Amino acid sequence: MPRKSVSEERSEGLLFVNYSQGLQGSEEIRRLVTPTSQSAQGSKSSSVADTSIPDDGTSKESVLFNESDLRALSALAEICKPRLLLLDGGRSDPFSVFPVSAEPWHPWVFEWYRTVHLPPGIAIVQKSRKEGEEYIAWHLRESIAEPAAFYMQLLNACTALVATDHLPAQLILALRSHVVGALNSAISDPRRQLSIGTLLTVGSIALHERLFGDAAVAVYVHGDAFRRMLALRGGIESLNMPRIGVKLLQFTDKVLSESNLDKTAAELLSTWAPEERRKRYYVSAHDEVNEVRMSFYQSVSEEKTPPESLPT
């Protein structure tokens, strides 16, 4: 399939372009990923009807995996689950906290993201452990409030887990479809189009695309969209973000700068976490959980095969 130009990408809105071309998934898997425009709107009951947000990325009539595929994926996820997370006492979502239709692997991946993936990066700029914990709590609250943001955080987590062979690569295709569908719904809703969750999603898409996909699309499409949305919202100050969140947005803006278009992912990440700091905060504790995070960071820094092109 020929690669799309930036102008073609602009006409299609906020989309990832690299996943659909980089992943060598089977035709069967690709057919399972149904665009939102071809799906009926899903429904989700909630005890708080006034504030609940429908998961527009999926529906009961159109699922990404059939029953046998879902059983196989759940079994594989259980086998590949980082050992430490087996001690979570069966953590689940009994009160429908997640803003999307839950799948068996959502809780432990989200918990791994919260407890393993995020803390080392936050530790680099936090003034205290308490500040880092408070930022992560804020970040996840905003993610749970918006389906697009929730799917984006799952995508961030699964990128690392897929890169280290803890989850199947086709999961990236599924999450990419969910992010696009939920985001298109959010930016079409006046109540959600400039929410913090939507802004964080667009910024995360741009950063993810810049590090693992098409740099030009990240800078000229997603990055431009993110800056316009932020300006419409009234700037960073209007978000009332924690200090760490402001630091992350400043880093994202620097990564998406046109002057850095020729920089590699390793060079960009080094501006956030120089080697000296990586040695301090990304040291493996000789257990499988930390090794997942460490090996993923090393794979990016060493410019190895990006996760979206791993075989399925």
Asked whether residue 98 is domain-assigned, the answer is: yes
Cβ proximity of 211 and 269 under 8 Å:
yes
State the residue for tokens 């697009």.
148
Q: Rounded distance, CA 101 to CA 93, Å?
A: 10
Asked whether residue 85 is domain-assigned, the answer is: yes
State the residue for tokens 């308490």.
130
Total count of domains within the chain: 1
Residues 6+ apart with CB under 8 A from 280: none
Asked whether residue 211 is domain-assigned, the answer is: yes
pTM recorded for the entire structure: 0.62
- Which value, to the nearest 10 degrees, does the dihedral of the CA atoms of residues 70, 72, 76, 81 take? 30
Asked whether residue 5 is domain-assigned, the answer is: no
What are the tokens at 118? 């995020």
What are the tokens at 264? 């590699």
pLDDT at position 205 is 92
- DSSP sequence for 161-218: HHHTTSS-THHHHHHHHHHHHHHHHHHTSTTTTTSHHHHHHHHHHHHHHHHHS-HHHI
Q: Is 16 helix (H, G, I), strand (E, B) or coil?
A: coil
CB neighbours of residue 160 within 10 Å: 22
Q: What is the pLDDT of residues 111-123, one digit of tens each?
A: 888 888 888 878 8
pLDDT at position 147 is 92
Cβ proximity of 111 and 163 under 8 Å:
no
Asked whether residue 30 is domain-assigned, the answer is: no
List own/partner pairs for 90-94 with CB under 8 A and 24 or more apart: none
The separation between the first and the last C-alpha atoms of the chain, rounded to the nearest angstrom, is: 18
State the residue for tokens 């719904």.
185
Q: Rounded distance, CA 98 to CA 197, Å?
A: 14
- Digits of tens for pLDDT over the chain (312 positions)? 455 444 444 333 343 433 333 333 334 333 333 333 333 333 333 333 333 344 444 443 334 455 665 566 666 555 555 443 443 444 444 445 677 777 777 888 888 888 888 888 788 888 899 999 999 999 988 988 899 999 999 999 888 888 878 888 888 888 888 999 999 999 999 999 899 999 999 999 998 888 888 889 888 999 889 999 989 988 888 888 999 999 888 888 888 888 888 888 777 777 666 666 555 544 443 344 444 444 444 444 443 333 333 333
Asked whether residue 168 is domain-assigned, the answer is: yes
Domain that holds residue 90: 69-309
pLDDT at position 198 is 93
What are the tokens at 37? 């425009």
Burial per residue of 244-281, b for 16 or more beta-carbon CB atoms within 10 angstroms, e otherwise = bbebbbebbbebbeeebeebebeebbeebbeeeebeee
The CA–CA distances, whole Å, from 293 to 11, 73, 124, 239 equal 36, 22, 15, 29
Asked whether residue 159 is domain-assigned, the answer is: yes
Q: What is the pLDDT of residues 118-166, one digit of tens each?
A: 888 788 888 899 999 999 999 988 988 899 999 999 999 888 888 878 8
The DSSP symbol for 308 reads G
Q: Is 62 helix (H, G, I), strand (E, B) or coil?
A: coil
Cβ proximity of 182 and 56 under 8 Å:
yes
Asked whether residue 15 is domain-assigned, the answer is: no
